[in-house]
Structure 1
């Protein structure tokens, strides 16, 4: 799971992190009324000072505006379920059809045949009872009942075989549906604009869609159970209609209360899940921070486990409280439904006895009606119970399909122009502010021009907007205000994939792909002379030297913890990241963007990479972000950012010669090694 951006909300807590209980209203005093005497607290011993407790800060809370799932949950009703079930059944069958057409057709055929054989079994029951419940010798009765018994036995056996077949087919199709749903969800997520990850709403929508994708196998199972129950009900109702029309309306009496209860309990549990979603999101984040390999050393050395586990338990306690409350409500509803079902069953049996006593049906028909009523009752309960589960699954699935349609509201929708390598990139009055009420603008009215063959260094203090500027130049962010053009064409009009094909970049947080060493460089962008190009790019960064020490060379899996996997040092991974960018820009020259590409490297490797930049410079626009001011000397031009604004620009010698300015200040600080001084001999 990725580390999602979350919005924090102010939460009042006591010193354990629990929410403060509501305080009872205090009686109002008149202005002149003296305050009541209060016992003075025990003063701490002088030698045991009471530690100062830090004031509680903002707590992590996942939240996004426009969440309509609570409204959807509150709208759950029997009428809504009846209207929605056909659509959900069609959607389930469409998913199954996409995953495996043959198995889907067989599933439907088996369900239809199961209903037909069920009806035959009920009719055969009537014939069997009619042959047995008449005066005469037992042998004659058995001979007369033999044909009906044969039909009953065959129908029962065939239904059992069909049931096994349905289970096997469902088991076969369900995992395929889940895999297709996962692939579609991943594709939709990768089709979202990068700015989506800055929005708390996107993380929430992704989690909801992911949960919906996980329910897709249940959707098929519930849908086919609804189909089976419907077929069984229709078959039983048809038999009852032939026995006596009065019996048909009464078959609903024993099932309506339990059906209503199923719908209401589905609403109760769904709302409980929705109202605790913020806490569940917090649990996932706390869990990730505690078990992630990248922080495992700090979890241990900082002894943070008890503290973070306490926060985990506090969030979990709120989930448990809400779940327990929902369980109690659902139990009350189910109890009332059970009483209603019992009363309905008593009425059904009373009507059946009346029909027999009044001679409207004979004893054999009454026996067959008993079986048919039981089958019909099970069918109605199955329809309602499975329908309620299907409806609840459909609520989660709505989140999934909404995400597929909109990519969380951030689907990439740009122009269709496929750009060549740009000769000129212009930025005019660019501004950018990240979401959040407390955020300052990251870029403020930035304007600059970049030309092919030029190496431009961007320097500045932390938080000055360097990385944000590079993301805009790479087309990962579109301008909020201002404009970026490639050879006069606004980036919004360019095809996104066509633009990124011309961009090679090394971000600060570069990926450490769990792939073989060679694949870590080419990432599936293949050429006829693949390994020669890979090795040539690696030679410019020293990554080839790292690979030479690996057990299986370029075929070595770079994923420690997996069978045969190896791990690289931070510098080794950074060499791989730079080699990846150089390989990519060799295939499709355009923009070469490097954000602190030598931060983990020794001087020898750093020197090699800086020389490589000059080697690759003639056919592309190269941008280099670095905190090492000396490294900026490799650039033709240096741009200095401060608080999102360009404050200086010029060549390295020009800026270094200026007596003041941020560039000179940073350069002087980097050269200053007077503090701390070396220890004197003998100290």
Structure 2
């Protein structure tokens, strides 16, 4: 039994320490707001201080007005009447100043909210730019990002607002307390104790709401995905054709009802407890109300004192409850803000390479016993892969889906790093290259290339962001990518808006989009390695032959890696690698592999039979 109580105390102490540690984010939130706009932050602080001192001053001047009215009525003197009117003018001035402070605070908060929302979103996006591909292929990372983006733009300002509000209420409470102490110290104690139960309930339910928020990040992302499927032009054709709409909408509704049920239960429990515990505060107020009225009837205090003490006790009680609510709200904001910093402080691999030149410029590209497994996978995607591509040579990679072809390209472009083995360019390990220099030497068209909702020129120019607005380069790249003829037929040529998301957008065929993507790869004029991952999958056979004849002519001095399922294309390569299960099972020229009669020859014969 003793051990049980000791463990309970230890758990409660750890829970308390964890709760207190959440308040560390107050300072970080203030620093974040400060760096967003210092002028507005200073204005917010000054207005908060003034607003905190005004309520006590207004309550005291109100007492002077009531006592002045009573005195003027008794004496009938003009001086007493003018004194009372003076107090009234002072109160009007203080109330006008209080109203001005409220408007000023609202203005500062509104402007800071917009600036801070932008700043936090930029921080989230900047962090995304520093992350590795492994993060973007990890569902847990997406949950972190989703939690960071939801409410992250509003919570820092909310936390700062509550912190400043806490200072404001503390100043008000000090003035109220100093006035109320003249009546009784016990009244101050009742004022403080009565609000504590509500604070405990609010803090407890804030923690429960946050835990609920963290648990269901995957469900919220799934709901957003279903919403995207039902409303996006990319998926609209297939959703309608296969009549998926009702099923997807049903899933969307089911997730909503699940989330709503959890929210409803928590909201009902929170509201019920807050109401019951709030009755304690009301009871305390009316007990003090009776006490103050009794003292006034007995003649112990004046009518002005009665008015002031009632106002001070009521507003003091509200202010103290506001302080505790602010502390609970700060705890809740800190919980949500921890999601933002958990994401922003996600560890990233520091690039170690700084080289801009290789040791043997004529050596080309080498894979030496490269093995790689994706994070969380027990099976290697590539295992002991070795190959050598000399400058000017063309390499074709063939294999079934899942054999490791695209993984090999991800390693070449250093989106991933091998678990073992080395990849060398010009005799130097890719790990030692400066990533920016390395990637400028590689032009890639991925199988799942991006169809940017930009103009034609910008779609092509995206291949080299340093020259994205260079129309001469657009045209040169489009010529190499065989996109020039159909671009010339578009209404605004290179300035034609593509896609249907924006006004006057023009949709292209699959083959035309692939030519745009191919042209994008040619934007990198300094690239001596070109990678084409299924570059002609949406084109007819005639267009494919034309493109690859043109491609060979345009890349005589460049290394090229081609991934394709069409053997009419593959046979043009200087050497062919056959991947199976992540391993190189055959390597040679087209004629050599046919003579061997193995896997490549079988696949070639099967495909050739389809054309007879």
Q: Which piece of structure 1 moves more, 214-223 or 515-524? A: 214-223
How large is the Cα RMSD of the aligned pairs? 2.8
How far 1:359 moved relative to its partner?
6.8
In the alignment, the residues of structure 1 paired with residue 436 and residue 333 of structure 2 have an alpha-carbon distance, to the nearest angstrom, of: 35
How far 1:607 moved relative to its partner?
3.1
Q: Contact 2:22 / 2:335 at 8 angstroms: preserved in 1?
A: no
Q: TM-score, normalised by structure 2?
A: 0.89
Q: 1:360 to 1:416 in 2, by over 3 A?
A: farther
Q: 1:235 to 1:546 in 2, by over 3 A?
A: farther
How far 1:76 moved relative to its partner?
11
Is the counterpart of residue 426 in structure 1 residue 402 in structure 2? no
Q: Contact 1:508 / 1:595 at 8 angstroms: preserved in 2?
A: yes
SS of match in other structure, 2:555: helix
Tell me the equivalent position of 1:525. 465
Counterpart of 1:576 (choices 504, 513, 516) is 516
In the alignment, the residues of structure 2 paired with residue 602 and residue 191 of structure 1 have an alpha-carbon distance, to the nearest angstrom, of: 39
Is the counterpart of residue 345 in structure 1 residue 285 in structure 2? yes
In the alignment, the residues of structure 1 paired with residue 528 and residue 395 of structure 2 have an alpha-carbon distance, to the nearest angstrom, of: 14
Tell me the equivalent position of 2:244. 304
How far 1:664 moved relative to its partner?
0.5
Tell me the equivalent position of 1:256. 196
Tell me the equivalent position of 1:648. 586
Q: How does 1:537-552 map to 2 (within 5 A)?
A: 537-552=477-492
How far 1:381 moved relative to its partner?
2.0
How far 1:574 moved relative to its partner?
0.6
In the alignment, the residues of structure 2 paired with residue 444 and residue 291 of structure 1 have an alpha-carbon distance, to the nearest angstrom, of: 42
Counterpart of 1:183 (choices 115, 122, 129) is 122
In the alignment, the residues of structure 2 paired with residue 674 and residue 314 of structure 1 have an alpha-carbon distance, to the nearest angstrom, of: 49
Is the counterpart of residue 110 in structure 1 residue 50 in structure 2? no
In the alignment, the residues of structure 2 paired with residue 641 and residue 325 of structure 1 have an alpha-carbon distance, to the nearest angstrom, of: 55
Tell me the equivalent position of 2:606. 669
Tell me the equivalent position of 2:450. 511
How far 1:654 moved relative to its partner?
1.6
In the alignment, the residues of structure 2 paired with residue 209 and residue 619 of structure 1 have an alpha-carbon distance, to the nearest angstrom, of: 47
Q: Contact 1:255 / 1:377 at 8 angstroms: preserved in 2?
A: yes
Is the counterpart of residue 122 in structure 1 residue 62 in structure 2? no
Counterpart of 1:165 (choices 95, 104, 108) is 104
Is the counterpart of residue 452 in structure 1 residue 376 in structure 2? no
Q: How does 1:217-228 map to 2 (within 5 A)?
A: 217-228=157-168
Q: Contact 1:111 / 1:231 at 8 angstroms: preserved in 2?
A: no
Q: Contact 1:543 / 1:579 at 8 angstroms: preserved in 2?
A: yes
SS of match in other structure, 2:328: helix
Is the counterpart of residue 610 in structure 1 residue 548 in structure 2? yes
Q: How does 1:120-519 map to 2 (within 5 A)?
A: 120-134=57-71, 136-137=74-75, 140=78, 141-216=80-155, 217-241=157-181, 245-353=185-293, 361-406=301-346, 409=347, 411-420=348-357, 423-435=363-375, 440-519=379-458
1:193-250, CA deviations, whole angstroms, 9 ceiling, x for partnerless residues?
Answer: 0011222211111111111424345444444444443343333234334665454333
Counterpart of 1:623 (choices 533, 547, 561) is 561
Q: Contact 1:414 / 1:494 at 8 angstroms: preserved in 2?
A: no
Counterpart of 1:560 (choices 480, 500, 503) is 500
Tell me the equivalent position of 2:9. none
1:61-100, CA deviations, whole angstroms, 9 ceiling, x for partnerless residues?
Answer: xxxxxxxxxxxxx999898767744x44433332322222
In the alignment, the residues of structure 1 paired with residue 564 and residue 197 of structure 2 have an alpha-carbon distance, to the nearest angstrom, of: 71
Unaligned 5+ runs, structure 1: 1-73, 676-683
Q: Which piece of structure 1 moves more, 160-169 or 515-524? A: 515-524
Q: How does 1:7-26 map to 2 (within 5 A)?
A: none
SS of match in other structure, 1:252: helix
In the alignment, the residues of structure 2 paired with residue 555 and residue 75 of structure 1 have an alpha-carbon distance, to the nearest angstrom, of: 65
1:499-543, CA deviations, whole angstroms, 9 ceiling, x for partnerless residues?
Answer: 222221100000111111111111263449922222111012221
Q: Contact 2:545 / 2:569 at 8 angstroms: preserved in 1?
A: no
In the alignment, the residues of structure 2 paired with residue 492 and residue 197 of structure 1 have an alpha-carbon distance, to the nearest angstrom, of: 21
Q: 1:500 to 1:352 in 2, by over 3 A?
A: farther
Tell me which protein shows more helix as a share of its residues: 2
SS of match in other structure, 1:434: coil
Q: Contact 1:261 / 1:334 at 8 angstroms: preserved in 2?
A: yes
Tell me the equivalent position of 2:31. 94
How far 1:180 moved relative to its partner?
0.9
Q: Which piece of structure 1 moves more, 146-155 or 270-279? A: 270-279
Tell me the equivalent position of 1:637. 575
Q: TM-score, normalised by structure 1?
A: 0.80
In the alignment, the residues of structure 2 paired with residue 432 and residue 273 of structure 1 have an alpha-carbon distance, to the nearest angstrom, of: 36
In the alignment, the residues of structure 2 paired with residue 367 and residue 247 of structure 1 have an alpha-carbon distance, to the nearest angstrom, of: 15
In the alignment, the residues of structure 1 paired with residue 432 and residue 296 of structure 2 have an alpha-carbon distance, to the nearest angstrom, of: 80
Tell me the equivalent position of 2:530. 592
How far 1:627 moved relative to its partner?
0.8
Q: 1:463 to 1:226 in 2, by over 3 A?
A: same
How far 1:400 moved relative to its partner?
0.9
In the alignment, the residues of structure 1 paired with residue 398 and residue 548 of structure 2 have an alpha-carbon distance, to the nearest angstrom, of: 16
Q: 1:148 to 1:464 in 2, by over 3 A?
A: same
1:619-658, CA deviations, whole angstroms, 9 ceiling, x for partnerless residues?
Answer: 4332111111121222221111111110111112222232
Q: 1:623 to 1:150 in 2, by over 3 A?
A: same
How far 1:374 moved relative to its partner?
2.3
How far 1:354 moved relative to its partner?
6.4
1:282-319, CA deviations, whole angstroms, 9 ceiling, x for partnerless residues?
Answer: 32233333333222111111112222333333333322
SS of match in other structure, 2:571: helix
1:163-204, CA deviations, whole angstroms, 9 ceiling, x for partnerless residues?
Answer: 111111211110111111111101111211001122221111
How far 1:673 moved relative to its partner?
2.7
Q: Contact 1:517 / 1:556 at 8 angstroms: preserved in 2?
A: yes
Q: 1:528 to 1:287 in 2, by over 3 A?
A: closer
